[in-house]
Amino acid sequence: MTVVFALRGVQARLGTRRPVAALRDIDLCVRAGERVALVGANGSGKSTLLRVLMGLVPVQGHLERADVRAAMVFQRPYLMRLSARHNVAVALWVQGRRWSQACAAAREALARVGLVALADRPARALSGGQQQRLALARAWAQRPDVWLLDEPTASLDPQARQEVEALIAAFAAETGATVVFSSHHLGQVRRLATRVVYLDGGRIAADLPVEAFFDLGRLAQASPSAHAFVREELPWVG
Ligand SMILES: Nc1ncnc2c1ncn2[C@@H]1O[C@H](COP(=O)(O)OP(=O)(O)OP(=O)(O)O)[C@@H](O)[C@H]1O
């Protein structure tokens, strides 16, 4: 399978006055079609790693990115002071599509995420779940090979979370796209991921197939800190 991202000994330092080592010695190889969950405590480096994969953060070390179309969706998506459909259409237009084509593609993308009825509403007046679906529509309209999703369902209620999660699962299943996402919801990780990367203090402390990650006996052997994290989150498991 094609290697989409290959990182060896990657370090990322953030901040100017007092730089923080946000990522240390990251070795990671992501292949096409994998769905990789990034988990770990607040500040462990999940968002930074996603930004590194998107090419938004300069790093030291070795980083190879295949020539793929990547789309990133943030926890709080940036939406312009425009209607929902114009948020999608403008994103396509700035990438070189003709305006009429961009508008048609925006309509199709909004239909895909169930937002057609709200197409003319100001994007910033939509609910959190609707805004996240709009951000997914905007990304989907670009037909990415790689989805980078930073806590895509954080701060959504359970129903909105399910809707967004179902869309991500459907996009991945339809296109076989590679997905790298961060999440604090271990249930979601179990449902969506094929592989789990656990970060601790900017380092990868465990990198396991999803079944192995949720097998607490194996997880304890692979990484005591990952094991303690899962036990804390899911005290009723094993
Ligand atoms: N712009 C910045 N300047 C300085 N330090 C930063 C900056 N952004 C993040 N950091 C630091 O880098 C480290 C990793 O942060 P990051 O946001 O990647 O963690 P995270 O795992 O995504 O956390 P969370 O679960 O809270 O979103 C933290 O110590 C954080 O304080």
235, pLDDT greater than 80 = no
Q: Supply the mean pLDDT for the chain.
A: 94
User: So where are the chain's domains?
Assistant: 32-59+144-233, 84-139
Taking CA atoms only, the protein residue closest to ligand 1 atom 25 is 42
Element spanning 185, H or E: none
Q: Is 45 in the pocket of ligand 1 (CB under 6 A)?
A: yes
Give which of 62, 38, 6, 55 is closest to 203, Cα–Cα. 38
pLDDT tens, position by position, 90-140 = 999 999 999 999 999 999 999 999 999 999 999 999 999 999 999 999 999
The ipTM assigned to this model is 0.96
Tell me what pLDDT residue 155 has.
80
CA of 153 from ligand 1 middle (Å) equals 18
Contact 172, 37 (CB under 8 A): no
pLDDT tens, position by position, 140-185 = 999 999 999 999 999 888 888 999 999 999 999 998 999 999 999 9
Fold of 32-59+144-233: Rossmann fold (3.40.50)
Taking residues 20-45, report their average pLDDT: 97
Tell me what pLDDT residue 110 has.
96
CA of 27 from ligand 1 middle (Å) equals 19
Taking CA atoms only, the protein residue closest to ligand 1 atom 18 is 45
Contact 179, 197 (CB under 8 A): no
Taking CA atoms only, the protein residue closest to ligand 1 atom 13 is 22
Q: Is 225 in the pocket of ligand 1 (CB under 6 A)?
A: no
Name the E strands within the chain. 3-14, 20-31, 35-39, 60-65, 70-73, 146-150, 178-182, 195-200, 203-209
Q: Is 14 in the pocket of ligand 1 (CB under 6 A)?
A: yes
Helix (H, G, I), strand (E, B) or coil at 58: coil
Tell me what pLDDT residue 237 has.
67
Give the whole-angstrom CA distance, residue 40 versus residue 7: 19
